[in-house]
Chain A
Amino acid sequence: MLMKWLLAAVLAGSTVSVWAVDDANKVVTDALRKLAPTSKIQSVTQAAVPGFYAVVADGHPVFVSTDGKYLIEGHVYDIAARRDLMDDGLTGVRKQALAKIPAEKRLTFAPQNPKYRVTVFTDVDCPYCKQFHQQIAEYNKFGIAVDYVLFPLVIHPGADKKAVTVWCSKDRNAAYTEAMNGQALASKTCDNPVSELSDIALAMGVNGTPAIFSVDGTQLGGYLPPQQLAQRLDELAAPAKATTAK
C-alpha cells in the first residue's frame, strides 16, 4: 500500500514538474511576444534568483519573473559571490552551440597533449585577433589547444571574403597565419561554412572578436594574453580552490 502511494506521489511529482516546464515556457513566450514579438526563444531555465526564469532569446539573456509581469535586461549580480548570474542561461546555450560545430569546421592549432581546449571566434581584420594569433605558439606552450571559428564582422567590409579565402586555401592553417601576419592573400572561393558559423556565433550572443570560450560554454574573454588565459582556465578547472585562495 505504502509503495503504491509513494509511486503515485512520485508520478504526481513528475507530472507537476513537466507542467511547470510547460508553464514556464508559456509565461516566457507570452511575455516576449508582447515585448519582442520577432524574437526566438532558445532556452528557458529556472534562474538562480527565486521568482525568475533565465531566458535566452536571439543570443540575448534576460530574466522574466515567474508571473510573467516583469522582464529584466542587463546584469543580475549575486552580491556575496560578486558574480553576474545573467550569463548562466547563456552558458548552457553556448555549450550546446559549440558542441554543434564539428572539428572539421574549425581551424585547430594544438600542442601535443593539450591540457585545455578553447574555441576562439576570430575575424581576419580584427587587430586583437591578429595579436592573439601572433602568440599562438605561446598559448600552445601553456597546453592550450585553440580551435578557431571564422566569424567575419559586418563592421569590417571585405572580412567575409578574406575568411572564405582562408577556408578555401589548400593549407588553411598556413593561410590563416599569413593573413593574420598582414599578408594579402589572392582571393579564393569554394563551398564554405562561413555564413553558417556566423549564424551560430550570433545565436550564441557573440558580437565581437576575439571571443574565447571554454568547452562548457563559459566566455573567458575577449583578448587575453597567453599567461592570463592559462590562469583563467586553471581557475575554471578548480573553482573551489580558487575561491579559498582569495
Chain B
Amino acid sequence: MTMAQANVPVDRFQVRSRFADADVNPGDVLMFAEGLPGYESVRQFVLLDVPDQAPLKVLHAVNTSEPCFLVVDPKRVLPTYRYELTDSDRQRLGAKDDGALLWLAMVIVDDAGAVAVNLRAPIVINPERMTGRQVMPNACVYPLRYVLGQ
C-alpha cells in the first residue's frame, strides 16, 4: 500500500466545492498517483455530476478544499479531438484498452469572461481501476487554451 492510498476515506463523506456540494462514496475516489502539475501533493479526486450543468462536471480534491476544476469532455468542444496515449500513460493508468477511458479537459475562464478549454493536457481516467492522470504530450496540435467561439 502506498502512502497516497493509506488515507482513502472508509465512510461516505461530504465534498463542498464552490460549485456544488456532494455526498461521496469512498469507492468513487479516483487515485492520481502523481497528483497534477501545480498540485503534486493532492492524490485523490472525485468527479461530480452537478444537476442541470451538463456537459460540465466538477473534479474536486478529497481531504482538502483545493483544487477544484470544471471539466468537460474534449470531444464536446472539438468533435474531431483525437489523442494518442503512450504505452507509459496506459501502464500508469493500469489500462488494458483505451475504450473504457474517460477524457476530461479543464475549463479556464479569463478575467474578461472568455471561456477556454485545455485541450493540450487532458485528464484521463480509467474507471476500471479508479486511476487518473493528466497526460502531457511532448508534441501536440491542440492548444492549452482553446477559446470557445473560435
Q: Do A and B come from one complex?
A: no
Report which B residues bind A (CB closer than 8 A): none
Report which A residues bind B (CB closer than 8 A): none
